Amino acid sequence: MAYFSQQLINAITLGAIYGLIAIGYTMVYGIIGMINFAHGEVFMIGAFISLIGFMICSLLGIGSAPVAILLVLLMAMAFSAVYGWMIERTAYRPLRGSFRLAPLISAIGVSIALQNYVQLVQGARPKPGGQIVSGGFNLFSADGFDVRVSWLQIIIVVVTVVLMAGFTWLIARTSLGRQQRACEQDMKMAALLGVNVDRTISLTFVLGAALAAVAGMLFLMYYGVIDFFIGFLAGIKAFTAAVLGGIGSLPGAMLGGLLIGLIEVFWAGYFSSEYKDVAVFAILVLVLIFRPTGLLGKPEIEKV
């Protein structure tokens, strides 16, 4: 029971991170119907900017952890958002209206280029991030096993919940959210009615990138080590989460992230940690075969 609870806590933490990345996939897919394969790299760049941000904070002598985290959070979101904007502007926008697989191939190119760009300018070795938040408390003890919740895990879950709530509000209530939903339903009609479609799509990428950057920061704080390659696996897992939850659906992305976190952690905890990634990939394959619309997605009708 205690072991189970501990795994559950770890799984929720991990799931929160995947959920944040998955939102980026789901929004982009919802609005322009493409898999933004480079999204995982934006997450990786967010993690690197966070690492540099924390180092700058300690150079400037900002000792208080909450201030440092908040500063780095804003910095990582802002500067990763520029990456998201740039990717859309240079690699995807010129391809709107090209054949269907063109944006995906271009996205793979962006992904390879970004990975190697970071490897070149930052080096290939794993970067230790140091410990920014330490400590925690015992939730309860059972069977001689302490169930611990670290402050870091609480921070991760709180940040995620706050961001997701804010995000849901943004989509449901603001004019940007309305424009976004309008573009999602019918881009041409939205344009006719005065919605600036290009700007809305750009903003979608910017928002997705900002959330991925937050996930990158949380990942750095949680695991303490990053390298230029983390975006690939995290990206695929988050994409799996988005598909599992139903691509195009925001609550689906959060639910999917949580489920992927659960599957990965429990598979590693109870079966074998070598095959935890295989389990996630197998879930991806199975969901796509048997329920391509995911848990909360709407069925898609192909129009001729």
Residues near other proteins (CB under 8 A): 34-35, 45, 48-49, 51-53, 55-56, 59, 75, 79, 82-83, 85-86, 90-91, 94-95, 98-106, 108-118, 120-123, 125, 127-128, 130, 232, 236, 239, 243, 274-275, 277-278, 281-282, 284-285, 288-289, 292, 302, 304
User: Least distance (Å) from other proteins to the CB of residue 258?
Assistant: 20
Pairing of strands 225-226, 145-150: unpaired
User: Least distance (Å) from other proteins to the CB of residue 120?
Assistant: 6
HSE-CB at 143 with a 13 A cutoff on CA atoms is 7
Nearer to other proteins, 149 or 279 (CB): 279
Q: Is the dihedral of CA 231, 233, 236, 240 positive or negative?
A: negative
User: Least distance (Å) from other proteins to the CB of residue 142?
Assistant: 33
Q: Is the dihedral of CA 104, 110, 111, 112 positive or negative?
A: positive
SS3 string, 74-113, reads: HHHHHHHHHHHHHHHHHHHHHHCCCCCCHHHHHHHHHHHH
Nearer to other proteins, 226 or 255 (CB): 226
Nearer to other proteins, 130 or 166 (CB): 130
Closest CA to 137 of 161, 160, 154, 162: 154
User: Least distance (Å) from other proteins to the CB of residue 132?
Assistant: 12
Nearer to other proteins, 162 or 278 (CB): 278
Nearer to other proteins, 143 or 274 (CB): 274
Closest CA to 24 of 14, 13, 37, 5: 37
User: Least distance (Å) from other proteins to the CB of residue 127?
Assistant: 6
| Residue showing tokens 């573009």 | 183
Nearer to other proteins, 166 or 292 (CB): 292
Nearer to other proteins, 88 or 182 (CB): 88
Spatial distance between the Cα atoms of 230 and 227, rounded to a whole number of angstroms: 6
Neighbours of 31 (CB within 10 A): 23
User: Least distance (Å) from other proteins to the CB of residue 39?
Assistant: 13
User: Least distance (Å) from other proteins to the CB of residue 76?
Assistant: 9
Within the chain, where are the H helices?
2-32, 39-60, 65-87, 102-122, 151-173, 175-185, 187-192, 197-223, 230-245, 250-270, 276-290
